[in-house]
Amino acid sequence: MNNQGLKGKSESIVTEEKTAKFVGSGELEVLATPMLAALMENAAVRALNLPEDQTSVGTYLNLKHLAPTPVGMEGWAEAEVIKTEGRKIIFKVVAFDEKEKIGEGEHERVVVSKDKFITKAKNKKSG
């Protein structure tokens, strides 16, 4: 599977529910780092066009949160596949708000069977 060069984008307006203060990752009403991470992951998911019985799961994210984004401002993330190793797909991720670059990093996802993955997760509860 060669996905190199595929790109995805995810956009979001910063709301109170996406702030560091609300999610508990800090005290300020600015875009929370966990929400920036989710935006980056979503951009990576959107880059892939997998068969219906497959999905990808995030296994690694290394990000730098470079600048604050206040409530009401739009932010977006862009992901580009830079390498594939079997089922593992590695992305370069970059995020911006309306004024500047707010984050960058590397993200890794692994392609899995939806049914096998969910069965494995459910088996943890019954074991």
Condensed to tens digits (0 to 9), the pLDDT of residues 93-116 reads 999 999 999 999 999 999 999 999
Q: pTM of this prediction?
A: 0.94
- Domains in the chain, please, with CATH? 7-126 (3.10.129.10)
Average pLDDT over residues 26-35: 98
Dist. CA 4–CA 86, nearest whole Å: 12
Cβ-proximal residues to 36 (8 Å cutoff; 6+ apart), any chain: 63, 65, 75, 77, 95, 102, 103
Percent of the chain with pLDDT over 90: 94
Cβ pair 66, 77 in contact under 8 A: no
